[in-house]
Amino acid sequence: MTESKPAGRRRWLLFLPFMLLVALAIGWSGFWYFTARNVETLVANWIEQEAANGRLYRCASRTFGGFPFRIEMRCREPVMELASLNPARTVKANDLVDVAQVYEPNLVIAEVTGPVSITEAGSPGSWQADWRLAQASLRGVGRRPERLSLALDDLKLVQLTDNAAEPLGSAGHVEFHLRRAPAADAGKATFDFAIQIAAAVVPWGPLGGLPVDAETTGSLKGLPDLRPKPMASGLKEWQAAGGRLELTKITVRQSDAVAVVAGDIGLSPAGRLDGKFNITVAGFDHVIRDLVGGTQQGSMQLGVIVGLSFLGQPAEIDGKRAISVPLRFTDGAAYLGSLPVGKVGPFF
């Protein structure tokens, strides 16, 4: 009889890990349910705040899931109505899925199923974009986003008019990255960005027909306020804060031709472009030919090339002879080298 108590105690100890596991599962389930309810409330509040600013969001159905380690929101047939724009625009897609890990709720990954259509109020036509895969990620959810990334594969753009689809362009791959710069002036946000486009094809213009690859890096500096507002008002505040768009480098390649652009631009107090770019090109003889005519216009083509050489300076890109020409904007007036080429109107 004296040995039964130790034996019973040992049997109880055998069940202890199982009991702890059950308690952990119940606790985790409660935590996941509480987090999911909070996310649902945050989404509802955000939609309400956006509606007050003229941006309406709705879904044919909205569900939450992802247990046990994810918070997943699925929006069937999402619609965004931008009533604050003039004219108003409506954006529609087939499906939207947002996913965040329970242990990292500050990072949201989204996948959009196309096609996505954009329609202007009062216009019978629309623009449509479709793809094989579209994914986005946002770090820093809320009022202070830190990083945004977007990637699309096999992108196709068309314009729909009277039940006909007119191709506008396509790309094998597109990437866009935006991050808040760690060091910026107090009260003024600075964002660094990078864009990559591979195998882009447009059906029109001097670059039409052949695939184009492009890369862009730069910074958008001096944003005093990130709250949504009309474009004219936002640009006026940006100009008053000394904002600048700095293009560290734009590289465009088509076959053996290459162009590189670098510089920065802002707005004058009158709302006109103010800044300077250096444009270096090599191998774009076919572009000049298309602009001024075919082989019958050989003298004119030669004149354009000589004119560019006079306005610019000899340069080199990837071992190829090139021409570098400055493009300058002074209160909206555009100059190619020292030659006036036009004027751009005010933005506000």
- Residue 211 is classified by DSSP as -
Contacts of 335 (CB under 8 A, 6+ apart): 326, 327, 328, 329, 341
pTM (predicted TM-score): 0.81
| Inside any domain, residue 149 | yes
Three-state SS for 261-299 is: EEEEEEECCCCCEEEEEEEEEECCHHHHHHHHCCHHHHH
| Inside any domain, residue 175 | no
Query: What confidence tier does 302 reach under pLDDT thresholds 50, 70, 90?
Result: very low
Domain hosting 22: range is 1-169
pLDDT at residue number 173? 98
Model confidence over 216-227: pLDDT tens digits? 999 999 887 766
Of the three residues 169, 200, 225, the one that is the final residue of a domain is 169
The CB density around residue 257, as the number of other CB atoms within 10 Å, is: 19
| Inside any domain, residue 174 | no
pLDDT at residue number 177? 97
Same domain? 294 vs 341: yes
Provide the H-helix boundaries in the chain: 4-52, 231-240, 285-292, 298-311
Same domain? 192 vs 263: yes
pLDDT at residue number 208? 74
Model confidence over 77-104: pLDDT tens digits? 999 998 877 788 899 999 999 998 887 8
pLDDT of 233 higher than 70: yes
- Residue 201 is classified by DSSP as B
Model confidence over 169-203: pLDDT tens digits? 999 999 999 998 876 565 678 899 999 999 999 88
Same domain? 165 vs 37: yes
pLDDT of 297 higher than 60: no
> Taking all residues of the chain, what is their mean pLDDT, rounded to a whole number?
84
Assess contact for 223 and 238: CB atoms under 8 A.
Answer: yes
Nearest to 108 by CA among 134, 86, 87, 135: 135
Model confidence over 18-44: pLDDT tens digits? 788 888 888 888 888 888 888 788 788
pLDDT of 301 higher than 50: no
Model confidence over 127-174: pLDDT tens digits? 999 999 999 998 876 556 789 999 999 999 999 887 788 899 999 999
Assess contact for 196 and 175: CB atoms under 8 A.
Answer: yes
The more confident residue out of 229 and 331 is 331
pLDDT of 122 higher than 80: no
- Cα separation of 242 and 223, whole Å? 9
Same domain? 129 vs 254: no
pLDDT at residue number 106? 80
pLDDT at residue number 310? 62
Nearest to 80 by CA among 71, 95, 90, 88: 90
- Cα separation of 136 and 110, whole Å? 5
Of the three residues 110, 137, 169, the one that is the final residue of a domain is 169
For residues 210-218, give the mean pLDDT.
Answer: 94
Torsion, Cα of 287, 291, 297, 302 (10° steps): -60
pLDDT at residue number 218? 96
Q: What are phi and psi of 204, to 5 degrees?
A: -135, 165
Of the three residues 169, 190, 208, the one that is the final residue of a domain is 169
Could you tell me the two tokens for 55? 């941006």
